[in-house]
Amino acid sequence: MPAAIESGALQVNGQQIAYTRRGDGPPLLLLHGFPQTKEMWEKAAPLLARHFTVVTADLRGYGASSKPEGAEAMSFRSMAADQLALMQALGYPRFHLAGHDRGGRTAHRLALDAPDAVASLTVMDIIPTHLLLDQLTHQVARAYYHWFFLAQPAPLPERMIGADPHAYFESCLLGWGGAALSDFPQGALAAYRRAWADPDCVHAMCNDYRAAIEVDFHDDARDLDRLVHCPALVLYGADGAMARAYDVSATWDPRLQHMTARSVPGGHFFIDSAPHETAEAVLDFLVPLPPP
């Protein structure tokens, strides 16, 4: 039988954070990226829940979580503090942690800021934030132009996106590795579209990217000599923009003491398009580890 799903929202760290919980076993927190919500795990989470208690959560500013004002409020450090507080409130002082895209950057920050809470770290289809911005290439700037478009002062990107938010965000889903809308489960796509239709969500997502340049880059610069010591998995789409531009595992090697790296078929959104392969890679990494 499929694992029963508990859905709710908790007031933690000054924010309302929406979450779902399913399964039984060691706790595993899964974090989504831009421009998605926790529903991106719709197909992969039930597979992982056969072995773990799986918590999926909307990052602040996204989905059904609260939408704080200002770029600093959308920093990865702030997002990480929310998720740590959520897991503590749910009764998990220590847990496995995995994140895709912005969720992966949040997970990396959480592992740096609260190492005692993170039993293992999985980052999906990202390279370190500081490296991407500090050594930006023409190839990456063209593929990831949205980092700099969304970071423009308000309300320029908000107004431009507001003219047709579905067209803009669907163009994001179809980029960074050649996806088709049919790759995305219909339930997840409907949840994404509901979020995009909310101007407060669009504004918060823009502030997420403003924070990357104004806040996160500097936070990461101060931590360049710090290692994540827990077991770590680097997953990336074999056909994604990051795999074309970088040796993804090499970008993480100086930052992760105990690293395993693996590619998954597909582009940036391989979790949606290849959920079984994604779950298999995560389980191959997590199942042999001791419980948190």
Catalytic positions are 101, 268
| β-bridge pairing 53-57 and 27-31 | parallel
- Is 232 within 8 Å of 122 (Cβ atoms)? yes
* Three-class SS state of 145: coil
Question: With the CA atoms of 38, 265, 234 and 109 taken in that order, what torsion angle do they form, in degrees rounded to the nearest 10?
Answer: -30
Please choose, from the candidates 243, 189, 261, 221, the residue with its C-alpha nearest in 3D space to the C-alpha of residue 43: 189
Please choose, from the candidates 251, 227, 221, 243, the residue with its C-alpha nearest in 3D space to the C-alpha of residue 128: 251
End-to-end CA distance of the chain: 26
- Is 53 within 8 Å of 28 (Cβ atoms)? yes
| β-bridge pairing 5-12 and 15-22 | antiparallel
C-alpha neighbours within 13 Å on the C-beta side of residue 198:
18
Sheet holding 15-22, edge to edge: 5-12, 15-22, 53-57, 27-31, 95-100, 118-124, 228-237, 256-264
- Is 31 within 8 Å of 107 (Cβ atoms)? yes
